[in-house]
Amino acid sequence: MIRRTSGSGIAPEGGRFSSAHEETKTRISSRNILLVDDDPSILTVLAWNLKDLGLKVTTALGGQGGFKRLCEQRFDMLITDFIMGDLDGLFLVKIANLLHPGMKVIVMTGSPHLIPRSLPLSYRFDALLEKPFRLDEFKDLITRILEVAGRKKGGGNETVKTSGAAKILTPA
């Protein structure tokens, strides 16, 4: 059974998350995430799950909104839909790479076959997440990428691995 708690959303029946969950939240908390999609319901659900991880989440409805936010503020990670009505996700990826080199980038799509197999380096992204995906896979992917990024700042050199719908892309 899951019950609602004040502040952090939901908690297991005992009222507390496992210590591993709390340690993960502590390690990645206070990271700024920009979440972009043209579907308000997807934005709401994914933002709620990111906040559950202790992340600071800014949402943007559509590519134009995402572009504006990227120009106004620095983020640790961009999570964007690929196909949107106004500006597509690859445009946002390119802008993120130009304005904020080193920002972690995840592209979500229900049409992975539309993403070219070979892209210039200006279109670098860290993961391709195929829709539909499970929320636990989504949260695990975000956690792993942010944790590896934190270790790399300290000099580590690791590859993120995951199972399920998430495909992790590493630079050649």
Domain membership of residue 155 (yes or no) is yes
Domain membership of residue 24 (yes or no) is no
Q: How many domains does the chain have?
A: 1
Domain extent, residue 53, equals 30-168
Domain membership of residue 20 (yes or no) is no
Domain membership of residue 159 (yes or no) is yes
Provide the residue-wise pLDDT of the chain in tens; the chain has 172 residues. Answer: 333 333 333 334 444 444 444 555 556 777 999 999 999 999 999 999 999 999 999 999 999 999 999 999 999 999 999 999 889 999 999 999 999 999 999 999 998 888 877 777 778 999 999 999 999 999 999 999 998 877 765 443 333 444 455 555 444 3
Domain membership of residue 13 (yes or no) is no
User: From CA 22, how far away is CA 53, in angstroms rounded?
Assistant: 9
Domain membership of residue 163 (yes or no) is yes
149, 104 contact by CB (below 8 A): yes
Domain membership of residue 23 (yes or no) is no
Q: Which of 108, 123, 117, 101 is nearest to 166 (CA)?
A: 108
User: From CA 90, how far away is CA 124, in angstroms rounded?
Assistant: 9
Domain membership of residue 8 (yes or no) is no
CATH of residue 39: 3.40.50.2300
Annotate the chain with DSSP letters as a single string: -EEEETTTEEEETTS---HHHHHHHHHHTT-EEEEEES-HHHHHHHHHHHHHTT-EEEEEEHHHHHHHHHHH---SEEEEES--SSS-HHHHHHHHHHHSTT-EEEEEES-GGGS-SS--GGG--SEEEESS--HHHHHHHHHHHHHHHHHHHTT--------TTEEE----
Q: What is the pTM of this model?
A: 0.76
